Amino acid sequence: MASAPLRPADRASLLQVPRQWPAYLVALVAIALLPYVLSTPYWRGILVVCAMNVMLALSLNLILGYTGQLNLGQSGFFAIGAYVTTVLVKSYSWNFWAAALIAVICAGLVGLLLAAFAVRLRGHYLGIASLGFAVIAYQILLNWESVTEGVRGIYGIMPPSPIRIPGLPEITFSNPVALFWLVGGIAFVVYVVVANLLRSPVGETLRAIREDEVSAASLGINPARWKAFAFGIGSAIAGLAGCFYPGFVGTLVPDAFGIVESFTMMAMVIVGGMGTMIGPVIGAIVLTCLPELLRDFGELRLMVYGLALTLVVLFMPGGMVQAGQMLRARFSRASSGASR
C-alpha cells in the first residue's frame, strides 16, 4: 500500500519559502503611476473608490473566503468607520488621524462583540446575526439624528488632514492623486499584512475551520475563538476603509451603507475568487470599473451582480481566479501539443 517515497526535487520545492517581492514591487509601481495614466479627475476618483473596495473585499474575504463564515454586515462596519471618524472630526474637532484610529478600533470591537454572540452556536446564526446587524446599523444611522443628521446627511467633510513631518514639506490630501496614493498605499499595506497572516499558521487554522469545524476542534483549534478573531480583524479593516470614504465624497448619508453595499462586497469577493488573496482584488477592480464603462446600465447593475453571483457560485465557484487557472491550463496544453 505504501506509495513511492518523495523525490528530493519535490521535497525541496515543498520546503521552499515563497518569494513575493517581484509582484509587490510591480503593484507599488502601478499605484504610483496609475493616477498619471488615468489622468481625468473622473477616473482618478474611480481609482480611489477602487482602492477602498479592494480593502473591503479583502476584509470580507478573510471572514467569508478563508474562515467560511457568511457575513452580510460589512456595510455596518464600513459605516462605523465613516461616521465615527466624521463625527469626531466635525463635532468634536479631533485630528483626523486620531479619529480614524478610534473608528477602526470601534469597528473591530463591534465586530468582535457581534461574533462573540453568535459564534458559539452552530449553523447559520452568525450569518443571520450579521444580516440583522446590517439592518439595525442602517436604522440607527437613519434615526439617531442628533449624531448622524439622519437622511439630511453631513456636509462639508474635509479630506484627511495634512501630515507634517519635520524637515519635509507638508503632505496634503486635498487633491485626488495624493488621496489615491494614500488610500491605495494603505490598501497595499493591508494586502501584504493580511497575506502574511493568512500564509502563517493562522491562515491554516482559519481554513481548517472553513473546511470542517468538528475535525478542526479535534486538532486543538477553538473554532469559536478563531471565528471571532477573523470577524474582528475583518470588521476593523472594513472600518479602516470607511475612514477615507467621507473625506473623498465630501458628504455622508446613510444610504451609502445599506445591505446593498454588503451584497456588492460579497459579489466582488466571490466573482473575483473567494479564498484566494488576489481574487478579491480582481473582483473589486472589475466590479468597480465595469459599471463605469457601462454607464447606461444603471438600474440593471444590481441585477447583473445578482446574476453574476448566482452563476459563479453555481458553475465556477472559484471565480475569475479559477477561470484564469483553467485558461492557463488549456493554454499550456495547447502549446505543448503544438510543439510536438
Q: Which residues within the stretch 19-58 sit at the binding site for other proteins (CB under 8 A)?
A: none
Q: Binder to other proteins among 121, 294, 327, 334 (CB under 8 A)?
A: 121
**Residue among 207 and 290 whose Cβ is closer to other proteins:** 207
Stretch near other proteins under the rule CB under 8 A, chosen from 21-29, 65-73, 99-107, 160-168: 65-73
Stretch near other proteins under the rule CB under 8 A, chosen from 92-100, 123-131, 154-162, 170-178: 123-131
Q: Binder to other proteins among 53, 61, 148, 205 (CB under 8 A)?
A: 205
Helix (H), strand (E), coil (C) string for the chain = CCCCCCCHHHHHHHCCCCCCHHHHHHHHHHHHHHHHHCCCHHHHHHHHHHHHHHHHHHHHHHHHHHCCCCCCCHHHHHHHHHHHHHHHHHHHCCCHHHHHHHHHHHHHHHHHHHHHHHCCCCCCHHHHHHHHHHHHHHHHHHHCHHHHCHHHCECCCCCCCCECCCCCCCECCCCHHHHHHHHHHHHHHHHHHHHHHHHCHHHHHHHHHHHCHHHHHCCCCCHHHHHHHHHHHHHHHHHHHHHHHHHHHCCECHHHHCHHHHHHHHHHHHHHHCCCCHHHHHHHHHHHHHHHHCHHHCCHHHHHHHHHHHHHHHHCCCHHHHHHHHHHHHHHHHHHHHCC
Beta carbon of residue 107, minimum distance to other proteins (angstroms, whole number): 18
Stretch near other proteins under the rule CB under 8 A, chosen from 3-11, 34-42, 166-174, 286-294: 3-11
**Residue among 174 and 215 whose Cβ is closer to other proteins:** 215
Q: Any contact of residue 219 with other proteins (CB under 8 A)?
A: yes
Stretch near other proteins under the rule CB under 8 A, chosen from 9-17, 50-58, 87-95, 173-181: 9-17
Q: Which residues in 295-324 contact other proteins (CB under 8 A)?
A: 299-300, 302-303, 305-311, 313-314, 317
Q: Which residues in 248-287 contact other proteins (CB under 8 A)?
A: 259, 263, 266, 270, 275
Beta carbon of residue 279, minimum distance to other proteins (angstroms, whole number): 14
